[in-house]
Structure 1
């Protein structure tokens, strides 16, 4: 796949960003699948204490997102992204020393804030680096690299753990090194002279303006609902496949591998195809494919043996198609709909919808898993289809004026 086209002066910036995005994703791939085991091995805390601490850290990061948006608008996405990467590098270097519970909580909070600040700051940086179709292509590359890097990082983590207890320390050092390297790459990205953030005290500089933007409220609400379709893969699907279909535990890993490979390999070409239709309609089409896959998942318990295994892979492909079709136009819609001088606040609000969904998903999906198979997949289908209908309405709504009426700046 060719890299995003750009003038010669902008090509090095694109290459450095792509390299940094991949290295960042590799670090996430090492950490995310092994979070509980990783923290338990390095700190010696009990699993209950770790789970409670990670939940508290997540809530703290959730509360910090509005401040992150203000910081992005004042300092720019590039500087905040560098800071988020540097904080993660320092935190993972300190994890082996966080054996006391307060120290563990402090490190976990720093990691959570830095991880959740990375998405809006990275998207804001893309907005500063490119415009129009070029911006969409760079967003598509970033999505594909996130999935490819996550898969590569997961394989690297498996190799580190194969060496024994020392593998966890090696993973901590690898995490610190990868995020530090990504921070250096981002620091070397030159930006256009006109991409500097406007003062936060300028017209329309507060969250009041974001909350008053009806179109963006719709995008955020839709993203919250559709997010449950994404979280289902990590939270509900492994339990469903082993408990309700009677398939081996390894099948959940196979489904994850299929999803990761397809998103990494097809993300850019599918994004190119989806760019030919309005973003809201394209994202809504993805939710319809999601709902189709959920209906198919609900039917899988009726199958047995080899037929069930083949059907699971086929439905996983349909599920991934929904993700591919939805993710490209939805992310582009969120970035393009944010005014340049307030992109940090807008994208932080959008990120809050993801974060809130991921915070609530374990509880809600656990309740639905206990309720029964059809209840789980019906609720997920209803959530994503409702989100799709909201996106269609947002697509028909007029875009906000690039020069909003002045309102007092607030936090």
Structure 2
């Protein structure tokens, strides 16, 4: 990547580092520093996040009109302001107001950043698959390092240390926003066409709607790991207590270093067929995880490690390729709207995963994994059917590049 892209990747790394640093401490900070009951904190943070759910619709319009870069910069500064406000939280009302500001910034960022990535790859004349892979790797690495430091700090955390972490996260968002001011992204928006079409074009685009629905299933597989695995290892298969850390760390390392390799390996395939492989791997992972209850204790650890490899490879393929396909299948003049709505697949998955797992796990320890395996298999079949319905130029990076030159 050219030197002119260094500010962008530095910004994404710093953003992820601060987020990874604060996230493990988030509930504890509000419970210990302003001394808000933990149950109240959880409810208020959920309410603040739910209030911002309609925001991507507006963000998509703003991206198509003003450009993704401007929206992403504003989102970074909004998150910074929200974290500065966290330092002044003294009760439930101030907490929910500050959390709404942070949540608005987060929602705007994730609704706009992938359009910015697509614009940057287009400006450089490169395929978006590699760009999305590089962004995913830098974010995963930053988040992983931040989480590791946070875990070390939690051992002796004081109120002052909690406040310092919140302040550090606010500063990382300011730094990321400033770095993005030095990024120059080409814009291919055709404003008049965008204003005439708007979301009506997307509502009439059945193949793209099917892509969003199918990706919701895949996104559910992606987020299921962090929610389900800790409980399953302890209460489902009675795995050793030390196992969770190495499994999650190993997965993080693979995601931080392997996405460009995965993109290169699946490049001969169409993007849809690459995602079919990811779906098949997730299906195997889910079913194999359900079968772990029958595995003898002596081989349980290597068995679960192999299961994790299936998950990691699926994620390595899905993360960059799904976003590249979504960007390529969107009309250039409406890319902001299309990708903002595409991100709802991940939002819906994060909303559904906790309830789906807890309800099914209560009924039977293997039921969540079996249900996920069935959903992944259905999603894989549905994805395969989309190859005949999505635009031909969106299926392969080489064809997309030829169509835009």
Q: Same fold (TM over 0.5)?
A: yes
Aligned to 2:120: 129
CA contact (8 A) 2:29 2:162 kept: yes
Between 365-374 and 217-226, the greater mean CA deviation after superposition: 365-374
What is the deviation of 1:333? 0.5
Alignment equivalent of 1:69, drawn from 60, 65, 82: 60
Distance 2:33 2:199 in 1: 40
Matched, 1:86 2:80: no
Alignment equivalent of 1:184, drawn from 171, 178, 183: 178
CA contact (8 A) 2:208 2:390 kept: no
Query: Any stretches of 5+ residues in structure 1 without a counterpart?
Result: 5-10, 403-411
CA contact (8 A) 1:300 1:308 kept: yes
What is the deviation of 1:304? 4.3
Between 28-37 and 181-190, the greater mean CA deviation after superposition: 28-37
Matched, 1:198 2:182: no
Matched, 1:216 2:205: no
**DSSP 3-state at the match of 1:97:** coil
Change (3 A) 1:227 1:148: same
Distance 2:361 2:257 in 1: 31
Distance 1:271 1:41 in 2: 44
Distance 1:47 1:293 in 2: 34
Matched, 1:261 2:253: yes
What is the deviation of 1:39? 2.9
Distance 1:400 1:213 in 2: 15
CA contact (8 A) 1:207 1:345 kept: yes
Aligned to 1:370: 362
Distance 2:56 2:44 in 1: 19
Distance 2:357 2:185 in 1: 42
What is the deviation of 1:177? 1.1
CA contact (8 A) 1:213 1:400 kept: no
What is the deviation of 1:351? 0.9
What is the deviation of 1:274? 1.7
Per-residue deviation, residues 102-134 of structure 1 (Å, max 9, x unmatched): 111011111122112212311111122122643
CA contact (8 A) 1:84 1:115 kept: yes
Aligned to 2:18: 27
Aligned to 2:398: none
Distance 1:253 1:58 in 2: 28
Aligned to 2:98: 107
Alignment equivalent of 2:35, drawn from 44, 49, 59: 44
Distance 1:332 1:148 in 2: 20
**DSSP 3-state at the match of 1:45:** coil
What is the deviation of 1:306? 4.3
Distance 2:168 2:235 in 1: 35
What is the deviation of 1:185? 0.9
Distance 1:206 1:325 in 2: 31
Distance 2:359 2:321 in 1: 31
**DSSP 3-state at the match of 1:168:** helix
Between 40-49 and 229-238, the greater mean CA deviation after superposition: 40-49
**DSSP 3-state at the match of 1:188:** coil
Give the TM-score normalised by the residue count of structure 1.
0.90
Matched, 1:139 2:163: no
Between 123-132 and 300-309, the greater mean CA deviation after superposition: 300-309
What is the deviation of 1:392? 1.6
**DSSP 3-state at the match of 2:53:** helix
Tell me how many residue pairs correspond in the alignment.
Answer: 391
What is the deviation of 1:375? 1.6
1:8-407 matches, cutoff 5 A: 11-131=2-122, 133-165=126-158, 166-192=160-186, 195=187, 197-199=189-191, 202=194, 204-399=196-391
Per-residue deviation, residues 282-309 of structure 1 (Å, max 9, x unmatched): 0111010111111111121223444212
What is the deviation of 1:160? 3.3
What is the deviation of 1:243? 0.5
Distance 2:3 2:207 in 1: 35
**DSSP 3-state at the match of 2:58:** helix
Distance 2:70 2:33 in 1: 30
Query: Any stretches of 5+ residues in structure 2 without a counterpart?
Result: 395-405
Distance 1:127 1:338 in 2: 11
Aligned to 1:8: none
What is the deviation of 1:53? 0.8
CA contact (8 A) 1:271 1:329 kept: yes
What is the deviation of 1:374? 2.9
Distance 1:395 1:65 in 2: 27
Distance 1:180 1:381 in 2: 42
Change (3 A) 1:109 1:249: farther
CA contact (8 A) 1:89 1:180 kept: yes
What is the deviation of 1:251? 2.2
Distance 1:168 1:24 in 2: 18
